[in-house]
Amino acid sequence: MDGSGMPTTCSTCPYCGVGCGVLLRPDGHGGLDVKGDPDHPANGGRLCSKGSALAETVGLDNRLLTPRIGGQQASWDSALTLVADRFRQTIADHGPDSVAFYVSGQLLTEDYYVANKLMKGFIGSANIDTNSRLCMASTVAGHRRAFGTDTVPGTYEDLEEADVIVLVGSNLAWCHPVLYQRILAAQKARGTRIVVIDPRRTASCDTAEMHLPVKAGGDVPLFNRLLVRLYEGGALDKEFLARVNGFDDTLRAAYADDVAATGLDADLVERFCDLWMRNEKVVTIFSQGVNQSSAGADKVNAILNCHLATGRIGRPGMGPFSVTGQPNAMGGREVGGLANMLACHLDLENSEHRGAVRQFWQSPAMPEAPGLKAVDMFRAVGEGQIKALWIIHTNPAVSMPDADRVRDAIAGCDFTVVSDITDQTDTARLADVLLPAAAWGEKDGTVTNSDRTISRQRPVLPIPGEARPDWQQLAEVGRRMGWHAAFDYETPAEIFREYAALSGIAGRFGKDFDISLWAALDDRGYAALRPTRWPVTVARQGGRFFADGQFYHPDGKARMIPVTYRAPAAKTGPRYPFRFNTGRIRDQWHTMTRTALSPRLSAHLAEPYLDLHPNDAADLGVQPADLVRVRSPGGKQSILRARITADMQPGDVFAPMHWTGETAPSARIDALVAPVTDPVSGQPESKAGVVAVERLKARWYGFAVSSGTLAPRAEYWARARTRTGYRAEMAGLNAVSDWESEARRLFDLPDAEVQMVTDVSRNMARIAFRDGDRLLAALFVADEPVAVMRDYLATVPGTDAPDILTGRTPSDRPDPGPVICSCFNVGVNTILAAIEDEALVSVDQVGAALQAGTNCGSCRPEIATLLSRAKLREAAE
Ligand SMILES: Nc1nc2c(c(=O)[nH]1)N[C@H]1C(S)=C(S)[C@@H](COP(=O)(O)OP(=O)(O)OC[C@H]3O[C@@H](n4cnc5c(=O)[nH]c(N)nc54)[C@H](O)[C@@H]3O)O[C@H]1N2
Ligand SMILES: Nc1nc2c(c(=O)[nH]1)N[C@H]1C(S)=C(S)[C@@H](COP(=O)(O)OP(=O)(O)OC[C@H]3O[C@@H](n4cnc5c(=O)[nH]c(N)nc54)[C@H](O)[C@@H]3O)O[C@H]1N2
Ligand code: SF4
Ligand SMILES: [Mo]
């Protein structure tokens, strides 16, 4: 409780795998007050921009509140009966492998457990896979090959105790911002040295002493070179190597590999190797630049090889560290959410394990072979082998490679069920049955973060309408399919206890994932559960793994895996000369169904884009703010805004993954990504496609702001929330003859008072609609990318804005420019002006002057970049 009288609840942020603790207090009007939990071990009170903006995303605006069958509102009873009947009938007609679940690393452990139990234990198929296949599968495979188990050895404290942190294919500053802040704090205190290995220069490079712009896929030869240097430099740990198999073969492979494939300057590689060799306390953090590759598992093992050979694992301040993407990516792996796992780190293909789980579940049938992995699963949907599909908490029509084909496959499936919190997603629009889920803030359960800490998500808001938690939906279908006793759960605590008990069986098989001490946790204990790192047994709680040389292969030893360079599957050539890299931006979460509801998160980067190097832009005749058309060998295309930046290597382009049919239909970039997968892990190669790029000369370009509806109709458009309504970018290939009526349709303002200047021959129009003095909406059209002060215009709907048609700020108000600090709404121009006028030289000084960067700190790397650019300019003058 605090002064306001409303109780404060400890919960966990629903976004990334850092798993920050939050303190939540309902404001009594459906809203929330959100703060970092100072007592949570992951964040110690910090939150990033996304966590800080959570309150802006819990409104009911776009929520799905009732079940729907064929688009029509339906009762739960009829929807669930239909789901159970159709699944049962399909299984009766075509066997258990004709149905599938596609789930998510954002499900709570309890949801995941029930889904896995229903599919593997009762339906009797292993056709349950998860978006973690697109995310963590290569790490899972790499860990299992090396350790005999999928276990992250270290803890977050290691990041603070390390002398060197190597980020491989990880943009930690934007994707795990609170961990990045923890590292920066340690850097201040102890001078931690940071190395970034990434084809792009990212925000994570700002405090790094070395950036290795590796060629896509060049990580294996880089770490092979490191292994050779460790060997030649006498840095191996002979004693530890007695606990490791495969050293000789692995070293031979490393010698045979070609470091030239890294594309890196030889000196830089040697400096990196020296740094790694001379500092025992090295943590190698890796993420999607490693995992999302057709050589993903090999990349993971190339990294693990170096840590195993030097015994730098599981000791304070050192070790390989896979950071998980989603809030419960780790929990899903523990619970067996992948098609090739059982539960509690038990193996589906091991008959003893299977027998034990079968007995525990009292299950009628268990599959003996792995089910279909994500890419194959949707292929099977497309080919009609999967006839009933349930998609829960994920948006595959956007996020899967070959996304248009996946969308068509889902649309063509005989029976598709989608559980989501909104009907406004590219996937939900395809559902035969749409089930409304309880959302974060309403749900109750547990998640496991990147360092094995299990935390509670607790409800503070009432579940709106008829929405229900995912576990309830699954359990109810299980009961209606005839397995009453097995799915007779009333609370998440019951599910958690059952899961904890099952982990005890895994523990008896010598598995590491054991939380059996909690099998006896009563409801009050579950309600009060504090963040706890597993294992949780009588013998042991938390801690690190593997420093003792005890691994989980049958002989108790680890394995080094010989790996050599394999180029990305797609080759660049004259027709598709660019390497197509994809990933994330600071303030959006995946397909934007929640973060795009927040005006301040939408202000950071309001439009989808393609980053390309200045030389490439010059060759293509692309100017800043031009649009480009991006084409894939698969015959798909996207239209994106060009951003010209020396952060890219020539020949590489990068696009963010976030935009969808809802926010920018021409920017569904996964339509361009080929469904190529790693042969070991089945993870798609989402970061190394090939594309052609050309300048797109549109007939007209538009920018619009509105306090109400904004429904663009054009070859290119992108829409974002603002504090006053919406803003949108547009571009069309065909002339528009009557801009006033087009604008009236765009804003749905058939009768509003209009103010305008147009020149049809020049494709020029400036149109404003008013209600008396109040500006409702405005549209600016030109025959080249519209030059108006966007960030200012986004603030004017609802005000009088008398001079709106100039598209510029009144002379006494400078244009703040795109938002850098979303907490305090500080734009880039404001920061640049302060740096220059007040001769600011540090991020802290910028904070003192403008507040920017003083709350969540997520923008501090960008402020640092602005400062260093100002310094460079000064030096050049
Ligand atoms: N803001 C934000 N944060 C998020 C998310 C989000 O949507 N938004 N999503 C969460 C999830 S689920 C995940 S999985 C994580 C992902 O977190 P990250 O993996 O850090 O994010 P990405 O931007 O996907 O990719 C990381 C980097 O890999 C680089 N890369 C590409 N190819 C290669 C290569 O061959 N080698 C190397 N070494 N690097 C390469 C890219 O240039 C990119 O900068 O983020 C989590 N956090
Ligand atoms: N090109 C490219 N593609 C990628 C990646 C990349 O780097 N590049 N990254 C990949 C990775 S690592 C990941 S993790 C995936 C992520 O991709 P997705 O999982 O497809 O993306 P999300 O937007 O997180 O989808 C979550 C869905 O769940 C809904 N939802 C929210 N809360 C709840 C709830 O409580 N219950 C239910 N039932 N639904 C809810 C949301 O509205 C949303 O529709 O994308 C992958 N795709
Ligand atoms: S770093 Fe940000 S997104 Fe990730 S859990 Fe913490 S507050 Fe949430
Ligand atoms: Mo992910």
Res 803: pLDDT: 87
Q: Is 93 helix (H, G, I), strand (E, B) or coil?
A: helix
| 606 vs 591: CA distance, rounded Å | 14
Instruction: Let me know whether 473 and 593 are in one domain.
Output: no
Q: Is 291 in the pocket of ligand 2 (CB under 6 A)?
A: no
Measured from the Cβ of residue 379, the count of other Cβ atoms closer than 10 Å reads: 18
Lowest mean pLDDT among 373-377, 418-422, 867-871: 867-871
Supply the angle between the helices 492-508 and 109-116 in degrees, to the nearest 10.
Answer: 70
Please, is 358 exposed, middle or buried when counting C-beta atoms within 10 Å of its C-beta (0-12, 13-18, 19+)? middle
Lowest mean pLDDT among 308-312, 726-730, 820-824: 820-824
Q: Is 470 in the pocket of ligand 2 (CB under 6 A)?
A: yes
Per-chain mean pLDDT for the chain? 95
- The CATH code of the domain that includes 424 is 3.40.50.740
Ligand nearest to the CA of 670: 2
Q: Is 869 helix (H, G, I), strand (E, B) or coil?
A: helix
| 646 vs 231: CA distance, rounded Å | 36
CA dist 453 to 17, 44, 529, 853, Å? Answer: 10, 14, 12, 28
- The CATH code of the domain that includes 259 is 3.40.228.10
The alpha helices in 421-545, defined as continuous H runs, are: 470-480, 492-508, 523-528
* Share of residues in the chain with pLDDT > 70 (%): 99
Instruction: Let me know whether 166 and 25 are in one domain.
Output: no
Phi and psi torsions of 403, nearest 5°: -60, -35
Establish how many alpha carbons lie within 13 A of residue 225's alpha carbon, considering only the half-sphere containing its beta carbon: 24
Band of the pLDDT at 29, cuts 50, 70, 90?
confident
- The CATH code of the domain that includes 594 is 2.40.40.20
Question: Ligand 3, closest atom to CA 36?
Answer: 7
**CB neighbour burial string for 595-617, b if at least 16 within 10 angstroms, e if fewer:** bbbbbbbbbbbbbbbbbbbeebb
Res 695: pLDDT: 98
Res 6: pLDDT: 74
Q: For residue range 245-289, what is the model confidence (pLDDT) as tens digits?
A: 999 999 999 999 999 999 999 999 999 999 999 999 999 999 999
Average pLDDT over residues 194-212: 96
Q: Is 35 helix (H, G, I), strand (E, B) or coil?
A: strand
Question: Ligand 2, closest atom to CA 399?
Answer: 47
Q: Which of 16, 585, 663, 690 to mutate to test the pocket of ligand 1 (most atoms within 8 A of CB)?
A: 16
Ligand 4 centre to CA of 589 (Å) is 10
Instruction: Let me know whether 454 and 421 are in one domain.
Output: yes
Average pLDDT over residues 76-88: 98
Q: Among residues 279, 303, 322, which one ends one of the domains?
A: 322
Strand pairing report for 453-457 and 193-197: unpaired
Average pLDDT over residues 509-530: 96
Check whether 133 has a pLDDT greater than 70: yes
Res 95: pLDDT: 97
| 493 vs 520: CA distance, rounded Å | 10
- The CATH code of the domain that includes 872 is 1.10.10.1100
| 561 vs 568: CA distance, rounded Å | 20
Of 333, 359, 363, 348, nearest to 121 (Cα)? 363
Please state the separation of Cα 699 from the chain's center in Å.
Answer: 35
Q: Is 323 in the pocket of ligand 3 (CB under 6 A)?
A: no
Residues 489 and 128: beta-carbon distance below 8 Å: no
Q: Which residues are within 8 A (CB) of 739 and not within 5 positions of it... i.e. 6 or more apart? A: 756, 758, 760, 765, 767, 779, 781
Question: Ligand 1, closest atom to CA 17?
Answer: 46
Ligand 4 centre to CA of 338 (Å) is 14
Q: Which residues line ligand 1 (CB under 6 A)?
A: 16, 135, 168-171, 174-175, 197-200, 202, 214, 216-217, 219, 287-289, 293, 325-326, 581, 583-584, 586, 588-590, 687
Q: Is residue 1 part of a domain?
A: no
Q: Is 455 in the pocket of ligand 2 (CB under 6 A)?
A: no
Strand pairing report for 609-612 and 637-644: parallel
Average pLDDT over residues 4-27: 92
CA dist 701 to 93, 312, 664, 719, 782, Å? Answer: 54, 56, 15, 14, 5
- E strand or H helix at 827: strand 826-827
Q: Pick the residue with more confidence: 857 or 278?
A: 278
Report the alpha-carbon angle 112-118-119, nearest 5. Answer: 90
Please state the separation of Cα 368 from the chain's center in Å.
Answer: 32
Of 312, 323, 324, 317, nearest to 157 (Cα)? 317
Average pLDDT over residues 733-742: 94
Ligand nearest to the CA of 177: 3
| 139 vs 333: CA distance, rounded Å | 11
What is the token pair recorded at 472? 């309830």
Which pairs with CB-CB distance under 8 Å and at least 24 residues apart come from 418-421? 418/390, 418/391, 418/392, 419/390, 419/391, 419/392, 419/393, 419/470, 419/473, 420/64, 420/393, 420/395, 420/593, 421/63, 421/64, 421/467, 421/593
Question: Which value, to the nearest 10 degrees, does the dihedral of the CA atoms of residues 516, 136, 388, 472 take?
Answer: 40
Instruction: Let me know whether 406 and 491 are in one domain.
Output: yes
Measured from the Cβ of residue 265, the count of other Cβ atoms closer than 10 Å reads: 11
Q: Is residue 676 part of a domain?
A: yes
Q: Is residue 553 part of a domain?
A: no
Residues 719 and 728: beta-carbon distance below 8 Å: yes
Res 447: pLDDT: 98
What is the token pair recorded at 587? 């303030």
Please, is 831 exposed, middle or buried when counting C-beta atoms within 10 Å of its C-beta (0-12, 13-18, 19+)? buried
Res 230: pLDDT: 98
Q: For residue range 371-411, what is the model confidence (pLDDT) as tens digits?
A: 999 999 999 999 999 999 999 999 999 999 999 999 999 99
Q: Is residue 411 part of a domain?
A: yes
| 392 vs 258: CA distance, rounded Å | 43
Res 470: pLDDT: 98
Check whether 197 has a pLDDT greater than 70: yes
Of 401, 400, 404, 402, nearest to 412 (Cα)? 404
Check whether 870 has a pLDDT greater than 90: no
Q: Among residues 695, 719, 737, which one ends one of the domains?
A: 695
The one-letter amino acid code at 523 reads D
Q: Which of 135, 204, 285, 584 to mutate to test the pocket of ligand 1 (most atoms within 8 A of CB)?
A: 584
Instruction: Let me know whether 86 and 103 are in one domain.
Output: yes
CA dist 672 to 411, 482, 572, Å? Answer: 19, 43, 14
Instruction: Let me know whether 505 and 408 are in one domain.
Output: yes
What is the token pair recorded at 84? 């159970």
Q: How many domains does the chain have?
A: 6
Residue span of the structural domain in which 284 resides: 137-322
Phi and psi torsions of 13, nearest 5°: -60, 140
Please, is 808 exposed, middle or buried when counting C-beta atoms within 10 Å of its C-beta (0-12, 13-18, 19+)? middle
Ligand nearest to the CA of 303: 1
Q: Which of 22, 24, 37, 50 to mutate to test the pocket of ligand 3 (most atoms within 8 A of CB)?
A: 50
Q: Is 686 in the pocket of ligand 2 (CB under 6 A)?
A: yes
Res 817: pLDDT: 83
Q: Is residue 744 part of a domain?
A: yes
Q: Is 332 in the pocket of ligand 2 (CB under 6 A)?
A: no
The one-letter amino acid code at 352 reads E
| 459 vs 446: CA distance, rounded Å | 11
Instruction: Let me know whether 689 and 705 are in one domain.
Output: no
Check whether 4 has a pLDDT greater than 60: no
Ligand 4 centre to CA of 591 (Å) is 12
Q: Which of 654, 687, 822 to mutate to test the pocket of ligand 1 (most atoms within 8 A of CB)?
A: 687
Instruction: Let me know whether 210 and 284 are in one domain.
Output: yes
Q: For residue range 535-575, what is the model confidence (pLDDT) as tens digits?
A: 999 999 999 999 999 999 999 999 999 999 999 999 999 99
What is the token pair recorded at 366? 């268990």
Question: Ligand 3, closest atom to CA 178?
Answer: 1
Instruction: Let me know whether 731 and 585 are in one domain.
Output: no
Average pLDDT over residues 829-847: 92
Residue where the block lists tokens 């229903």: 118
Q: Is residue 564 part of a domain?
A: no
- The CATH code of the domain that includes 15 is 2.20.25.90
Residues 229 and 251: beta-carbon distance below 8 Å: no
Measured from the Cβ of residue 81, the count of other Cβ atoms closer than 10 Å reads: 14
Q: Is 212 helix (H, G, I), strand (E, B) or coil?
A: strand
Strand pairing report for 128-130 and 99-103: parallel
Res 431: pLDDT: 98
Measured from the Cβ of residue 24, the count of other Cβ atoms closer than 10 Å reads: 24
Q: Is 447 in the pocket of ligand 3 (CB under 6 A)?
A: no
Residue where the block lists tokens 């500053």: 173
What is the token pair recorded at 603? 């202000």
Res 876: pLDDT: 62
Residues 794 and 801: beta-carbon distance below 8 Å: no
- E strand or H helix at 278: helix 266-278
The one-letter amino acid code at 429 reads R
Average pLDDT over residues 500-513: 94
Question: What counts of helices (H) and strands (E) characterise the chain?
Answer: 28, 34
Q: For residue range 668-726, what is the model confidence (pLDDT) as tens digits?
A: 999 999 999 999 999 999 999 999 999 999 999 999 999 999 999 999 999 999 999 99
Band of the pLDDT at 875, cuts 50, 70, 90?
low
Band of the pLDDT at 825, cuts 50, 70, 90?
confident
| 760 vs 384: CA distance, rounded Å | 51
Q: For residue range 140-183, what is the model confidence (pLDDT) as tens digits?
A: 999 999 999 999 999 999 999 999 999 999 999 999 999 999 99
Instruction: Let me know whether 425 and 372 are in one domain.
Output: yes
Instruction: Let me know whether 464 and 475 are in one domain.
Output: yes
The alpha helices in 59-118, defined as continuous H runs, are: 76-94, 109-116
Residues 474 and 84: beta-carbon distance below 8 Å: no
Q: Among residues 301, 322, 343, which one ends one of the domains?
A: 322
Q: For residue range 44-70, what is the model confidence (pLDDT) as tens digits?
A: 999 999 999 999 999 998 999 999 999
Instruction: Let me know whether 183 and 306 are in one domain.
Output: yes
Which pairs with CB-CB distance under 8 Å and at least 24 residues apart come from 236-240? 236/309, 236/310, 237/309, 237/310, 237/311, 237/312, 239/311, 240/308, 240/310, 240/311, 240/549
Band of the pLDDT at 238, cuts 50, 70, 90?
very high
Ligand 3 centre to CA of 351 (Å) is 40
Band of the pLDDT at 123, cuts 50, 70, 90?
very high
Of 332, 324, 240, nearest to 288 (Cα)? 324
Q: For residue range 435-478, what is the model confidence (pLDDT) as tens digits?
A: 999 999 999 999 999 999 999 999 999 999 999 999 999 999 99
Q: Is residue 549 part of a domain?
A: no
Check whether 28 has a pLDDT greater than 90: no
Band of the pLDDT at 877, cuts 50, 70, 90?
low
| DSSP 8-state class, residue 69 | E
Check whether 30 has a pLDDT greater than 80: no
Q: Is residue 547 part of a domain?
A: no
Measured from the Cβ of residue 647, the count of other Cβ atoms closer than 10 Å reads: 20
Report the alpha-carbon angle 735-740-743, nearest 5. Answer: 85
